[in-house]
């Protein structure tokens, strides 16, 4: 079996992925793709080049080295075999830690305590009630569900928004579809975005939708930068409609040094680290799926390219 690995931009990371694949599949030939290479059976990719797609015509599947496939689909390349994304693979726990800390940070008023420390000001605050801070999770997929459950376990009242109709799960009220977005937002005081980036979800955190949240709501975006209209978010924070934001993802990454998010006192910025693809967990998942495909069994995580996730 031949597995080819191709990342753009090319990086030394590829060697580490190759080592992990070789450990789990010692009989497989695992290589870094070079133009003109013979066809492989499987590909492990991030942002592949057009030449790669044109040349690798005999793939049984392409595995995306992350959960989100927006970067791949944006390339507009023809896809003639299943495109399979990572499902959790160790990202769920990281994502949950990130969102729970951001929600608690806001709920417990730690931003204010940080400001007080800068002024050497000792001032206690009466505790808030979690019942007054309902959390809305945009996207109730692999990661959204994990985050929603863990927020709920921390005592928050949690509701979520997805595309397809489902009942309440584990006490989490579910809204679905465009028509229910307004009701979902109106019920939300802390918003966590875990949507895939698709034509329907791009710019979803715009002036209108931010204005539909409860006044003083807090925004956590760990999905993709293009979900947020940056100027609208800054305006909503400056007007007091939004209390602040924790942002892990941006339209342009790295976030340009001149971007106002860096210096805004109510915005916390992290460099796209909410959930990192872990070598061993990811490769174990991919190898398990390769074994299933070889055995003629179905696999999960196959991207619906028409739907965009």
Q: Which stretch binds ligand OXD (CB under 6 A): 3-11, 24-32, 65-73, 294-302?
A: 65-73
User: Which residue, judged by CB position, is nearest to ligand OXD in the bound state?
Assistant: 66
Query: Catalytic site residue 20?
Result: no
Q: Which stretch binds ligand NDP (CB under 6 A): 113-121, 192-200, 237-245, 251-259?
A: 192-200
**According to CB under 6 A, which one of 246, 277, 282, 285 is a site residue for ligand OXD?**
277
**Contact status: 200 vs ligand NDP (CB under 6 A):** yes
Q: What separation in angstroms does the CA of 185 have from each of 32, 89, 120, 161, 178?
A: 45, 30, 37, 9, 11
How many Å apart are CA 115 and CA 124, to the nearest integer?
A: 13
Q: Which of 159, 224, 264, 292 is catalytic?
A: 224
Q: What separation in angstroms does the CA of 94 have from each of 31, 85, 100, 101, 271?
A: 29, 17, 10, 11, 14
Q: Kindly report the backbone phi and psi dihedral angles of residue 205, in degrees, each rounded to the nearest multiple of 5, phi listed first.
A: -95, 70
Q: What separation in angstroms does the CA of 71 have from each of 4, 64, 117, 280?
A: 19, 10, 41, 23
Q: Which SS3 state, helix, strand or coil, does residue 73 take? A: helix
How many Å apart are CA 256 and CA 266, to the nearest integer?
A: 18
Binding to ligand NDP in span 145-174, by CB under 6 A = 161-164
Q: Which of 6, 272, 284, 292 is catalytic?
A: 272
Query: Catalytic site residue 224?
Result: yes
**Contact status: 224 vs ligand NDP (CB under 6 A):** yes
Q: Can you give the binding site for ligand OXD, defined by CB under 6 A?
A: 66-68, 277
Q: Can you give the binding site for ligand NDP, defined by CB under 6 A?
A: 67-68, 91, 139-144, 161-164, 194-198, 200-201, 222-224, 248-249, 272, 274-275, 309
Catalytic residues: 224, 272
């Amino acid at each position: 079996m031949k597995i080819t690995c191709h990342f753009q931009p090319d990086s030394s990371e590829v060697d580490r992925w190759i080592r992990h694949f070789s450990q789990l599949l010692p009989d497989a030939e695992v290589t870094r793709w070079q133009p003109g290479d013979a066809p492989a059976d499987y590909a492990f990719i991030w942002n592949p080049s057009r030449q790669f797609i044109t040349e690798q015509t005999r793939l049984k599947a392409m595995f995306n080295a992350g959960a989100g496939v927006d970067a791949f689909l944006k390339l507009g390349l023809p896809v003639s075999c299943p495109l399979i994304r990572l499902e959790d693979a160790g990202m769920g726990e990281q994502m949950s830690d990130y969102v729970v800390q951001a929600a608690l940070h806001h709920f417990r008023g730690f931003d204010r305590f940080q400001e007080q420390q800068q002024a050497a000001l000792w001032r206690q605050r009466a505790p808030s009630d979690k019942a007054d801070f309902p959390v809305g999770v945009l996207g109730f997929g692999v990661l959204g569900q994990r985050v929603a459950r863990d927020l709920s376990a921390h005592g928050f009242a949690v509701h979520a928004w997805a595309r397809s109709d489902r009942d309440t799960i584990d006490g989490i009220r579910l809204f679905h579809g465009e028509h229910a977005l307004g009701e979902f937002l109106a019920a939300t005081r802390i918003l966590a975005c875990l949507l895939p980036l698709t034509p329907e979800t791009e710019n979803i955190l715009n002036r209108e939708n931010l204005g539909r949240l409860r006044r003083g709501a807090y925004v956590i975006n760990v999905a993709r930068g293009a979900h947020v209209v940056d100027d609208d978010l800054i305006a909503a924070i400056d007007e007091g409609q939004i209390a602040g934001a924790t942002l892990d993802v941006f339209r342009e990454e790295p976030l340009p040094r001149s971007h106002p998010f860096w210096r805004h006192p109510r915005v916390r910025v992290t460099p796209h680290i909410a959930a990192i693809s872990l070598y061993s967990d990811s490769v174990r998942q991919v190898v398990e799926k390769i074994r299933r495909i070889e055995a003629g069994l179905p696999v999960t995580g196959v991207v619906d390219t028409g739907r965009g996730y």
